[in-house]
Amino acid sequence: MTQVENHNHYRLYGGLNGYYEENFVVTTKNQHLEFTRSLSPVVSLDLSGNNLNADLPGKITNLLGLVFLNLSRSHISGHILESILRLRQLSSLDLSHNKFSGAIPQSLGSLSFLGYLNLSDNDYIGKIPYKYQMITFSASSYVGNHGLCGSPLDVKCPGDEDDDDTDKGLTIHNDNINGGSFIDNWLYIGFT
């Protein structure tokens, strides 16, 4: 069994322009290993193409400086953690081609720096939380998840209104368009 103890010993070096030192102890196989370097400055983690066959570890959200995270094609299962919201600097997230399941958490849309998202080819279910940052991603980010529905996919969710008979976008009514002024014509333009 592995046991991790975190001891934060803040030692200020270099006066006002100093830095702090952090260490932690890992106990495994009856050995105590002390690490004096921290993983907190890690900005990129690429474990793609590995045969990890495990759940996504919750501790990954402790890497607060993470900007790029690629865990694609690693046989990882479990859910996307709500605590992913802690990774505020994350700009690229690739969890494609794994065994993730469950709903996509609402908190994923709150990652304002997220510019690349690939959740394709997993087992996600439910409605895509299509708000905030999530509206910037195309359907290709979600393809291969047969249980997903809602925008930007063409799959409607149960309970969504049927909009088949209404035209999306700009609608121009041709009743009095000829002979009317620009302002009159503008009043006949509507958005549905």
Euclidean distance between CA atoms 57 and 81, whole angstroms: 9
Tell me the pLDDT tens digit for each residue of 37-92.
666 667 888 889 988 888 888 888 888 888 999 999 999 999 988 888 899 999 99
Q: Does 117 share its domain with 143? A: yes
Q: Does 70 share its domain with 89? A: yes
Confidence of residue 29 (pLDDT cuts 50, 70, 90): low
- Give just the sign of the alpha carbon dihedral 40, 102, 111, 46: positive
- At residue 140, does pLDDT exceed 50? yes
Q: Does 112 share its domain with 131? A: yes
Q: Does 100 share its domain with 146? A: yes
Q: Does 50 share its domain with 127? A: yes
Number of domains the chain contains: 3
Q: Does 61 share its domain with 151? A: yes
Give the strand pairing for 189-191 and 170-172: antiparallel
Average pLDDT score over residue span 1-15: 46
Largest interatomic CA distance in the chain: 90
Average pLDDT score over residue span 173-181: 45
Q: Does 141 share its domain with 90? A: yes
Distances (CA, A) of 8 to 21, 35, 37, 38, 71: 8, 11, 11, 10, 29
Which stretch of 99-108, 110-119, 141-150, 175-184 has the lowest confidence by average pLDDT? 175-184
Q: Does 29 share its domain with 58? A: no
Q: Which domain holds residue 187?
A: 166-192
> Phi and psi of 25, rounded to 5°?
-115, 130
Euclidean distance between CA atoms 139 and 150, whole angstroms: 10
Q: Does 14 share its domain with 25? A: yes
Q: Does 45 share its domain with 137? A: yes
Nearest to 4 by CA among 52, 38, 41, 47: 38
Of residues 170 and 143, the one with the higher pLDDT is 143
